[in-house]
Structures are given as structure tokens and as C-alpha cells.
């Protein structure tokens, strides 16, 4: 007997899970960047030089970058629900503690702790998207959750500036930390993997799996002892293509970490803008970066659906974006606030376009080592969070910020060259490749 019952439509639970990741990213970046808003007042109250402030700005990155490989391995071993809740709560406690510091050493130590507990976050994000989304939707999904760092900072930076104005930098840290503590509980209550979610139907699971989603990877992965084998680490370090995206990610993150650390201080101390006014002007480049990211993600996925080569669809927007990021140097040639913000916004727009680069982790990594590859990718990229704030601190110690912007723009050009000359054919890395 022929059934007349129409096939069930796929549910869209994956977008609800993506919205939870989006909020995670907003909170993640609030707790990374609150130090930049606090920077001018903090350095005055604690009597920090530009070099000392550079080290404070970089402290998060020391542990965050160095723990990316362990973080990726942990993401391969433990489920996102428990691990992300643990990370949210612990880094938020470290953030609250920053509101009570009285000197350089304590603040430096707590920034190290924040970086430690945030370290697994982006490998977890990548694992979630790889599990919940088919390849044809993955760049858009990555663009949407990564946009949380820009949308959150664009709209919340004026709020953070206002909070600091009335509650001081102490209140700023305590407030942002409490938000993360509450959200950690919410995440644990509502997030589930595809096979564990009661709301997802078989049609959606089939759609995800047939499109390349790897939500059964947990069933197929090797044991923890096998993941830690030197041969696995060697495999993801020996690919020329992966090295191309590693170098490119360092360049992309260099621009990002300028904006997450020195940008408000640049506007207030080196361009002489009013603190409150600088908070509103700081929103413009973040909005531009968000626009670049979303535009790049949706255009990239559309090109894939139109049958264009994966290399063209994925690499093209990144290369264009990195070349645009060189325009940050233009801010050195104007004293007009409008043009300064224009060049900074154009550069961050380009950098935002290049942030779909996380899609290459899903496309290139060995299927059983997605977390490990993501960890190494994020480790290489986040070396910028150590290098850039410190280098800028030294370059600007004589009161001239122009060399710092040249430094950032040059790194953008290097990133474009890396994608042009090192990243070859896009295909998954296997043994011997």
C-alpha cells in the first residue's frame, strides 16, 4: 500500500543552537575587550606605562593561544554542553575578580586566567557548527556566530563606556562577569547535540548528514589516547595548505586584537577624543567588521551553491578582505576624525570579510581531528593576541602611533599573500598529505 503521508519537513533546530553560540561569542568578547574600555582609566589609576599596559592587554593571549591545542583536544573528547558551561562560569569568575585588583601583578594574573578558561571556546564553536550544519550552510553559520563579537561590541561598547563612567572600571568588570555566570547556567539548560536534542526530527538529521555534517563523529572518533598521538599532531602541522591558513589567521587576528585592546586608548590618548564620544565612535568600525563578515559569509555560500569552485568561493572573499585591511595605514595621513574613523572602519570591514576563515577548519581537517586542527588554527591565529599588543606598546611609547598602524596594515598584506601563494587546492587533509 502506498503511503499518502507527505514526508516531514526538516526542523530548524540547528538555528536555535546557533543562536545560543552567538550569545556565547558576545559574552566571550565582552570579557576579552572590557579591558580596552577600562584601559585609559585603569592605566591612570594603577599608574601603568604604555609598555606595561601593552603587557596587560596581551596577558589574555598568553594562555589563550598556548592552550589552543589542548583546548582543541579537550573539545574532541568532551561534549560542548558541559565543557562550554564550565568555561563560561570559570572565565566569568576571573572577570569578576578583575574588579577587585589593586596592581599590575594581580590584574595580569587574572587576565591569564581569563585566557585559560576561554581557550576551548572557539574549537567548541567549530565543533558545534560542524555537527549541526551541512557544508553548504557552514560559512553562513560561522559568519553569523562570529558576528556576535562585532554586533555585541558595536552596540555594547557605548554601554560599557557609560557603565564605567558611573561605576568605574571596577563596576565594569564585575558587571560583565556576572552576565557570563548567569549565561553559563542558561547554556547548560538549553544546549544539546543533534542526536540528543528532542526537538530535531529525522528529516533535519538526514539533511545535515547528507550535506556533510559530522554529528556522528563522536561515534567514530578514536580514543583520547589515540588523539594525543604525535602522528596526529604532526599531520596537522605538516600540510602546506594548513600553514597557509595558519599564517592568514595570524594576520586577521592582528587587526582584531588592535581593536580589542589599543583602539579606545588610541582614540583618547593619541587622537585626543573625549572618552564618552570615543565610545560611540568605536562602534562604527565594529559595525563595519560585522557587515564585512556577514557579506563574505553569505556570498561565499551562495557561490558554492551556484557550483563555483570551493577555492574561489572560500578564498576569494578572504583575499579581497585582507587587501582592504591595509587601508588602516590611511588613518596616519589625516587629522580629521571623520576620515580617521573611515579608514579604520574600512580596514576592519576587510578584516571582517576574512573571518570566515574558520570554514577551512571544517573543510581541511582530518574528520577525527577537527577539534585538534581547530585548536592549532586558533593557536597560530591567537599568537597575535600576545605579539600585537606588546609590539604596539613599544612602537607607541614615544607618543607616536603611526608606526603601529603601519605594522598592522603590513600584516594584513602578508595574510593576503599567504592565501594567494600558500593555500592551494581545497581538499581534506589525509595521511601523507
Summarised one tens digit per residue, pLDDT across range 63-91 is: 988 887 777 677 777 788 999 999 999 99
Helix, strand, coil share of the chain (percent; to 5): 80, 0, 20
For residue 27, pLDDT over 80 is answered with yes
Percent of the chain exceeding pLDDT 90 equals 32
Tens of pLDDT, residue by residue over 109-125, are 999 999 999 988 888 88
**Is the whole-model pTM more than 0.85?**
no
pLDDT in the model for residue 223? 46
- Name the residue among 291, 300, 302, 342 with its Cα closest to residue 318: 300
Query: Would you state the pLDDT for residue 217?
Result: 55
Is there a contact between 319 and 257 (Cβ–Cβ < 8 Å)? no
Rounded-to-integer distance, Cα 294 and Cα 145, Å: 10
Neighbouring CB atoms inside 10 A of 65's CB total 23
Using alpha carbons only, give the angle 431, 223, 357 rounded to the nearest 5 degrees: 55
Q: Compute the mean pLDDT over every residue in the chain, rounded to the nearest whole number.
A: 84
Domains of the chain: 13-421 (1.20.1250.20)
| Residues composing the chain | 433
Distance CA 73, CA 119 (A): 11
Mean pLDDT, rounded, for 368-394: 83
CB 303 within 8 A of CB 313: yes
4, pLDDT greater than 60: no
pLDDT of residue 1: 43
Amino acid at each position: 500500500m502506498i503511503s499518502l503521508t507527505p514526508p516531514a519537513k526538516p526542523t530548524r533546530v540547528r538555528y536555535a543552537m546557533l543562536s545560543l553560540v552567538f550569545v556565547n561569542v558576545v559574552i566571550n568578547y565582552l570579557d576579552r575587550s572590557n579591558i580596552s574600555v577600562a584601559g585609559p582609566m585603569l592605566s591612570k589609576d594603577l599608574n601603568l606605562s604604555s609598555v606595561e599596559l601593552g603587557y596587560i592587554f596581551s596577558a589574555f593571549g598568553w594562555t589563550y593561544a598556548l592552550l589552543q591545542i589542548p583546548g582543541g583536544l579537550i573539545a574532541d573528547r568532551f561534549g560542548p554542553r558541559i565543557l562550554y558551561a564550565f568555561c563560561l562560569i570559570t572565565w566569568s569568575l576571573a572577570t569578576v575578580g578583575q574588579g577587585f585588583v589593586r596592581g599590575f601583578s594581580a590584574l595580569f594574573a587574572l587576565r591569564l586566567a581569563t585566557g585559560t578558561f576561554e581557550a576551548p571556546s572557539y574549537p567548541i564553536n567549530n565543533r558545534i557548527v560542524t555537527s549541526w550544519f551541512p557544508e553548504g550552510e557552514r560559512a553562513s553559520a560561522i559568519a553569523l556566530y562570529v558576528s556576535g563579537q562585532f554586533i555585541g561590541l558595536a552596540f555594547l561598547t557605548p554601554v560599557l563606556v557609560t557603565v564605567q563612567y558611573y561605576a568605574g572600571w571596577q563596576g565594569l568588570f564585575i558587571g560583565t562577569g556576572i552576565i557570563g555566570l548567569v549565561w553559563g547556567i542558561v547554556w547548560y539548560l538549553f544546549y544539546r547535540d543533534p542526536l540528543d536534542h528532542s526537538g530535531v526530527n529525522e528529516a533535519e538529521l538526514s539533511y545535515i548528514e547528507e550535506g556533510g555534517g559530522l554529528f556522528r563523529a563522536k561515534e567514530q572518533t578514536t580514543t583520547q589516547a589515540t588523539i594525543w598521538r604525535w602522528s596526529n599532531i604532526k599531520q596537522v602541522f605538516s600540510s602546506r595548505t594548513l600553514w597557509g591558513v595558519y599564517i592568514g589567521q595570524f594576520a586577521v587576528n592582528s587587526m582584531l586584537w588592535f581593536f580589542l585592546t589599543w583602539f579606545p586608548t588610541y582614540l583618547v590618548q593619541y587622537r585626543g577624543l573625549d572618552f564618552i564620544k570615543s565610545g560611540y565612535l568605536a562602534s562604527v568600525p565594529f559595525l563595519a567588521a560585522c557587515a564585512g563578515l556577514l557579506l563574505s559569509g553569505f556570498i561565499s555560500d551562495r557561490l558554492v551553491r551556484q557550483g563555483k569552485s570551493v577555492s574561489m568561493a572560500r578564498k576569494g572573499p578572504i583575499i579581497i578582505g585582507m587587501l582592504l585591511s591595509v587601508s588602516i595605514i590611511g588613518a596616519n595621513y589625516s587629522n580629521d576624525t571623520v576620515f580617521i574613523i573611515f579608514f579604520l572602519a574600512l580596514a576592519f570591514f576587510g578584516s571582517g570579510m576574512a573571518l570566515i576563515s574558520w570554514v577551512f577548519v571544517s573543510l581541511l581537517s582530518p574528520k577525527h581531528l577537527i577539534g585538534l586542527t581547530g585548536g592549532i588554527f586558533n593557536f597560530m591565529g591567537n599568537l597575535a593576541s600576545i605579539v600585537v599588543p606588546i609590539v604596539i606598546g613599544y612602537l607607541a611609547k614615544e607618543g607616536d602611533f603611526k608606526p603601529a598602524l603601519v605594522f598592522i596594515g603590513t600584516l594584513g598584506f602578508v595574510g593576503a599573500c599567504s592565501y594567494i601563494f600558500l593555500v592551494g587546492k581545497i581538499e581534506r587533509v589525509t595521511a601523507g598529505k
